[in-house]
Structure 1
Amino acid sequence: MVVKADEFLEIFKEEKWKRGNFTYKTILQANKEPAEDSLNNAKIFLSNISKVIKKN
């Protein structure tokens, strides 16, 4: 099957949109809970490091 350049570019644009839409919309929502856990862990870590620094 031979695809004309303009048809190929149209297919590419559609696939690029689907990838971008999935990656930047769906994935972020799906990763919200683990990201919140990571943020809370970082806050706990930072709080404890600050206490260690203040003691020294």
Structure 2
Amino acid sequence: MSVKSPCIELCKFDGKSGLCTGCLRTLKEAREWKKMTDHRRHQIVNDRSHREKKLTKL
């Protein structure tokens, strides 16, 4: 089963962390999402809480 994109169509990237404030992916990750393996997609999705903390610390 493929991993659904976490995109919520709120593409605004934080200048310090480089993360999208909507889906918490980097610009590179968002661009390459369709080409990624499901394993890599799961890693990104499962890292969400860590990314949220990184974004809120700034």
TM-score tier, shorter chain, comes to under 0.3
The higher-RCO structure (CA 8 Å, 6+ apart) is 2
- The two structures have a TM-score, normalised by structure 1, of 0.27
Identify the structure with the greater helix proportion: 1
